[in-house]
Every structure is written in structure tokens, then in C-alpha cells.
Amino acid sequence: MKTVLAPRYPGESRRVLRRVETASATLEEVQYTRGFSVASHAHDFASFIYVVDGVHWSGHSKGGEACAPRTVRFLPGGEPHENFFPVGSRCLQVELGRQILPLAREHGPTLRVPGEVASPSASRLGARLHRELCQRDGVSELAVEELLLQLLLAGADRRCPPRRSQTPAWLLRVREMLRERATNHLTLTDLSRCAGRHPVQVSRQFHQHFGCTISRYVRQVRVARAQNLLAVPRLTLAEIALASGFSDQSHFTNAFHRLTGLTPHRYRLQVSQRNEK
């Protein structure tokens, strides 16, 4: 296949619905119109494609395949590929940054061949990446880094995970750092320096010992702090959001509702009613 770099997209045939850049990747939710086709081209950096809905066809150096909803595909950097959208499709496209792939390779074999990621966890990880794009907050960058490392290492190591043992001291230090600096901007690199361990090991063992991802833990700590502040009537929701580590009131409200099932306003009313009894 002849490689053509940076194809042009006429009119509304390719429409970017959402876009965010992090230190580890650029994420875009893209809508393709029915009947649109993309000639053979390549991108400088490796990428993932998670199909949100619709079906399309993708061809690459290893063949061609139908791309169904809730599947994830990997394309190495420089890989020529072409696409056809017979019924239209909405996709999450993730272009990896310069550092994330070498970082994953330090821990073990990573994805190298173009095509669908066969790991049973790929669909779940792709959906979580899409959710981070749609509902991003101050912890999303950390979450995206975690998810991309998991995807890059998907299927590379199928050994059974070790049994949960006593939590190592370095992991307790990581958790304490997350508690103390929950309102700060933290990355896996920051945590790995604190622990003296590889970022992948930090992410995996945190989940193994504490039962949740690092990003979810940070959100839980921030929401718990906000719950305490909501009992102070003189503080506005915007002030509480910033004091709890959220970038704005909208992100605060969304994260609070996802974790508690209540809006901050409703939670504050319940606290007020309990205090009046």
C-alpha cells in the first residue's frame, strides 16, 4: 500500500466531538459519516482506536478486518492503513505520546502488531478511556496513563497474579502521598519516584492490595474532603470544589455524583437536616 501522510477530510466527513491532550497521549472522539473512506496513510506515533458505535472496515499490512463496537485496535507508529465507513462510526482515537510506549516496554513485552487487541480486558479499558474523555477532571490525566499502560501490556503476561500478601511499606508510602497531596497534580512518575518502583508495578500492586485504581482512590479522597467541607454553610460549592482539588464546580459535581449518587447540593441539604434534629 502506498503511504500518504496527513490525509485531508472534506467537509463534515470527519468531525471531532471532543479532544484532550495529556502528557502521555492525545485523545479524540471522532464521528465519521456514512460512506466515507480514508486512503492509505500513516501516523508518526502508535495509536489505539476504540469503536464507540457503528461498524467500519480497516486495512493494514497484516490484512483487513471489520471493526465492531466496543473493540480496541492498535496501530504501531508508521503503520500504513486505510478505512471505509459504510454505515458511519464513532470512535475514540488515542495517539500515544513519546514516553508512554518506552515506559511500558521497561516492564515487559508490549503490543507490536496492528489489529484488534485480543485481551479480554481490552473492551473494558477502552470504555474507561472513553469515559475519562467524556467526564474528565483533575485526575483524568493520571487515569489515562494507568489505562494506556494496561492496554500496551495487555496479553503480554498471562501468568496468574500473585496472592495478596502483607502490603509492602513502599506501597503504604504511595497511599500516604496520595492522601496528603490529593489536591495536587500527580503522575505515575511522581509516585514511582516516591516508591522506588516501576510505574506499572505501582499501578498494578496498588489495585491488588487496595482494591481500586490509583485514580479512583484520588477521586475518593477528594470527594471525602468535600463531604467534610459541605458541612460548613459559609463555603460556596465553587470554593469547596477548588479546596478539594477539582478544577471547577462542574467537574466537582460530576465526580461527587458518580461516587455518592447525590449532587453536592443534595448532600449538603441532608447534612443540614440531620444537624437540625
- pLDDT tens-digit profile of 192-209? 988 899 999 999 889 888
With beta carbons less than 8 A apart as the criterion, state whether 71 and 125 touch.
no
Q: What CATH number is given for 217-276 in this structure?
A: 1.10.10.60
Closest CA to 25 of 132, 105, 109: 132
157-169 burial: b if 16+ Cβ within 10 Å, else e? eeeeeeeeeeeee
From first to last of its 277 residues, the chain has per-residue pLDDT tens of 233 344 555 556 788 999 999 989 999 999 998 888 787 889 999 999 999 999 888 888 888 788 999 999 999 999 988 888 888 899 999 999 999 999 999 888 999 999 999 899 999 999 999 999 998 888 899 999 999 999 999 865 444 444 446 788 898 888 888 888 888 888 898 899 888 999 999 998 898 888 888 998 888 888 988 888 888 889 999 999 999 998 889 989 988 888 888 899 998 888 787 766 6
- Dihedral angle at the C-alpha atoms of 218, 220, 222, 226, nearest 10 degrees? 180
- Position 212 scores a pLDDT of 84
- Position 276 scores a pLDDT of 67
- Position 159 scores a pLDDT of 44
d(CA 24, CA 20): 11
d(CA 188, CA 195): 10
Extended strands (E) in 136-250:
none
Number of helical (H) and strand (E) elements in the chain, helices listed first: 10, 11
Q: In 163-213, which ranges are continuous DSSP H helix?
A: 169-180, 188-195, 199-210
The DSSP letter of residue 116 is E
- Position 2 scores a pLDDT of 35
- Position 158 scores a pLDDT of 45
Contacts of 124 (CB under 8 A, 6+ apart): none
Extended strands (E) in the chain:
4-5, 14-21, 25-32, 36-42, 47-54, 56-60, 63-67, 72-75, 81-85, 89-96, 115-116
Residues facing residue 92 across a β-bridge: 29, 50
- Position 6 scores a pLDDT of 43
Q: What's the CATH number of domain 4-152, 1.10.10.2160, 2.60.120.10, 3.20.20.70, 3.30.70.20?
A: 2.60.120.10
- Position 182 scores a pLDDT of 84
